[in-house]
Amino acid sequence: LEALNIKIEEDKSLPEAIKCKIQKSYSAIDQRVKVSGWIHRLRSSKSLVFIVLRDGTGYLQAVLTGDLARAHQTTALTLESTVTLYGKVCKLPEGKNAPGGVELLVDYYEVVSLAPSGEDAFTNKIAEGADPSLLLDQRHLALRGETLSGVMKVRAALLRAVRRFYYEEGLTEVNTPCMVQTQVEGGSTLFSLGYYGEEAYLTQSSQLYLETCLASLGDVYTIQESFRAEKSHTRRHLSEYTHIEAELCFLTFEDLLVHIEKLITKAVQYVLEDPVAGPLVEQLNPGFKAPTMPFMRLDYRDAIKWLNEHNIRNEEGEDFKFGDDIAEAAERKMTDTIGVPIFLIRFPVAIKSFYMKRCVDDDAVTESVDVLMPNVGEITGGSMRIDTTDELMAGFAREGIATDPYYWFIDQRKYGSCPHGGYGIGTERILAWLCDRFTVRDCSLYPRFSGRCKP
Ligand code: 4AD
């Protein structure tokens, strides 16, 4: 069809259009609305032009007919251009499918900003099947895709669900510092920074600060970035990740485990009940089954036996023995084979951090837990904490950590110590499990890992 050289004008005799977001337009049947957004899809057939408009709240199918479809302005439209569409919302007839079950019959529209065509067109920037590192360079554009934006919506719902659970359980949210002078999870993954001439680090975990809040605020949590200088590239390691951490006082190890399984099951339940995030999880992870309580408990000692019985070898290619770290590959094989959420508990003292409390019935192991999920492996690490000064000092000595910078942390054992414990959940890890993503990189807005700090 030849493009018509006509000016697109609004028919002032039509009812005034109500401004709304796409999500709201789904229920504005037979009303005239105006909706602004990005052209997500564009297709013409005969004398019709179909647009799928996107505004972050949803997708809206719109149809342009007659002169509107044939005007120059319309034939020049491109993907990712921004427009304001005016028209009547119509319920789609049975058997036809579109988001919200509606279609917008456009009677007038305005171009807000025209995106380039040709060489510089959006589709040339993030071509399908392109090299992942090119896609990461174009992350700011790739985020406009349905999958990535869907994961980000689920992420928002998950954080909302976690906060709701903490509110219901009476935990107080705090904001801990990111610039610190202490380590939590080993010196090898610390990012150091110059701090007015002093040495400082980016925080690996807010745990130690959360512990100091117990005596002041009671049970607490924080949701904030943690930083790890991980040297190896894996599916599940980032240099910066959003860490959900909680610390609880006057509880037993079993209480802690029950709290964690309740958090995970409730948070997942709230996400699935969410009108936006629930359907997205179903789309991203068809057939996903919400976990149920209680989670399986597996002792580290029994896990070692299980691995040996199933011919899964340690890092040296030998049978597992007590004290071996169960590395990523072995852990995943075990978790995938068992196929349900697992509390892997009671790790040996030697492979865990300085602060972990030993078990009363077996002092070679600690009151510690990793939560393992099929397809991802570890999503949570937690433990009961040493609550006496002597034992804590022995822990520091064992790990060769100078104690001066920890004076404030040690004070917790001096001024009214209490039994306490906590855990950290990697937001991107729990999301990778919930949304069935191959890597945690797909669950972070702008992932950071060695060699990648842009955009
Ligand atoms: O097991 P981690 O190292 O435990 C701690 O940091 C404790 N201090 C937390 C606490 O008790 N408050 O880390 C906890 C979780 C892991 O289970 C994992 O989900 C995530 O944080 N995590 C990472 N996620 C992405 N990239 C990394 N490099 C991660 N390192 C840990």
State the average pLDDT over residues 342-349.
98
Percent of the chain with pLDDT over 70: 100
The protein residue with its alpha carbon nearest to ligand 1, atom 7, reads 424
**206 Cα nearest atom in ligand 1:** 12
Which 3 state secondary structure label does DSSP give 132? helix
Q: How far does residue 427's CA lie from ligand 1's centre (Å)?
A: 9
pLDDT average, residue stretch 250-263 = 98
The answer on pLDDT for 196 being more than 90 is yes
12, HSE (Cβ side, Cα atoms, 13 Å): 0
Closest ligand 1 atom to Cα of 243? 21
Kindly report the CATH number assigned to the domain that includes residue 66. 2.40.50.140
Q: Does residue 160 sit in the same domain as residue 246?
A: yes
The Å distance, Cα 179 to ligand 1 centre, comes to 17
Same domain, yes or no: 113 and 148: no
Output the pLDDT for position 132. 83
Q: Do both 322 and 241 map to the same domain?
A: yes
Ligand 1 centre distance from Cα of residue 226 (Å): 8
Residue 105 lies in a domain: yes
Q: Enumerate the β-bridge partners of residue 4.
A: 71
pLDDT at 442: 96
pLDDT digits (tens, 9 = 90+) for 52-94: 999 999 999 999 999 999 999 999 999 999 999 999 999 998 8
User: Do residues 189 and 326 both lie within one domain?
Assistant: yes
Q: Which of 211, 237, 326, 429 to mutate to test the pocket of ligand 1 (most atoms within 8 A of CB)?
A: 429
| Residue 10 maps to a domain | no
Query: Is 84 in the same domain as 227?
Result: no
Query: Which atom from ligand 1 is nearest to the alpha carbon of 371?
Result: 17
Q: What is the mean pLDDT of residues 8-23?
A: 97
CB of 37 shorter than 6 A to ligand 1: no
Domain that holds residue 47: 18-120
Same domain for 237 and 107? no
Is ligand 1 within 6 A of the CB of residue 380? yes
- The number of residues making up the chain comes to 455
Residue ending a domain, choose from 91, 120, 149: 120
Tell me what pLDDT residue 331 has. Answer: 96
Residue 378 Cα to ligand 1 middle (Å): 9
pLDDT, tens digit, for every residue of 396-433?
Answer: 999 999 999 999 999 999 999 999 999 999 999 999 99
- 259 to 253, 316, 335, 384, 421: CA distances (angstroms): 10, 36, 21, 13, 11
Co-location of 155 and 116 in the same domain: no
Please report the pLDDT score of residue 93 as a whole number.
86
Cα–Cα distance, 413 to 407 (Å, whole number): 10
Could you tell me the distance, in angstroms and rounded to a whole number, from the CA of residue 371 to the centre of ligand 1?
11
- Beta 172-173 vs 102-113: how paired, if at all? unpaired
Structure token digits, residue 103: 């279609």
13 domain residue, yes or no: no
Mean pLDDT in residue range 273-301: 97
Q: Which residue, 120, 148, 181, sits at the end of a domain?
A: 120
Whether residue 97 is found in the same domain as residue 174? no
Q: How far is the CA of 410 from the centre of ligand 1 (A)?
A: 22
Instruction: Please check whether residue 396 lies inside any domain of the structure.
Output: yes
Is pLDDT at 265 greater than 70 in this prediction? yes
* Domain assignment of residue 391, yes or no: yes
- Tell me: do 365 and 407 sit in the same domain: yes
User: In 129-213, where do the E strands start and end?
Assistant: 172-173, 179-180, 191-195, 198-202
Picking from 72, 87, 120, the residue at the C-terminal end of a domain is 120
184 lines ligand 1 (CB under 6 A): yes
**183 and 49 inside one domain:** no
| pLDDT for res 161 | 98
Note the pTM of the prediction, 2 decimals: 0.96
429 lines ligand 1 (CB under 6 A): yes
Instruction: Give the whole-angstrom CA distance, residue 85 versus residue 222.
Output: 42
CATH of the domain at 276: 3.30.930.10
Q: What's the average model confidence in pLDDT over 275-298? A: 97
| Residue at 7 is within a domain | no
User: pLDDT digits over 83-125, tens only?
Assistant: 999 999 999 988 999 999 999 999 999 999 999 999 999 998 8
Looking at the structure, do residues 144 and 191 belong to the same domain, yes or no?
Answer: yes
Q: What proportion of the chain, given as a percentage, has pLDDT over 90? A: 93
Q: Is 241 in the pocket of ligand 1 (CB under 6 A)?
A: yes
Q: How far is the CA of 63 from the centre of ligand 1 (A)?
A: 49
Is residue 128 pLDDT above 80, yes or no? no
Give domain status of residue 132, yes or no.
no
- Residue 103 located in a structural domain: yes
Nearest CA to ligand 1 atom 31: 426
Mean pLDDT on 177-200:
96
Q: Are strands 32-45 and 48-54 parallel, antiparallel or unpaired?
A: antiparallel
Is pLDDT at 204 greater than 70 in this prediction? yes
* Overall number of domains in the chain: 2
Same domain, 256 and 330: yes
ipTM comes to: 0.99
pLDDT higher than threshold 60 for residue 1 = no
Q: How far is the CA of 16 from the centre of ligand 1 (A)?
A: 54
Other C-beta atoms closer than 10 Å to the C-beta of 234 total 12
What is the residue-averaged pLDDT of the chain?
A: 96
